[in-house]
Structure 1
Amino acid sequence: MKKFATLLPNNWLAETPQTLASRRLGRQSAERERISEINAERFLKLYAMSTSGAI
């Protein structure tokens, strides 16, 4: 495999603590949003079943 020269500095991928913290918070926020969507869907299904007399 050929190696390609790049104009990027050696530390172009280095992460600052602020970047890592914001990325971590973003993941946590996305997880909370996903969980709340699941809870909302479950609630709506149960509500629909209870109003239709299925429960």
Structure 2
Amino acid sequence: AYDTVGHDRILFGTDGPFHHPTVEMQKVLMCGVDEQGLEDIFYNNAKKFFDV
């Protein structure tokens, strides 16, 4: 998804993980996204989406 749509269109969610949320977070942290991309995926994109 990152390569296709970019980090500004991806939201991290934990509504139904197969593992503990920290395990799911580690998958994102280890996938090679840069620091700004991680901030966008974990925080900034949701903030923009929900207009807070």
TM-score scaled by length of structure 1: 0.27
Larger helix share, 1 or 2: 1
TM-score scaled by length of structure 2: 0.28
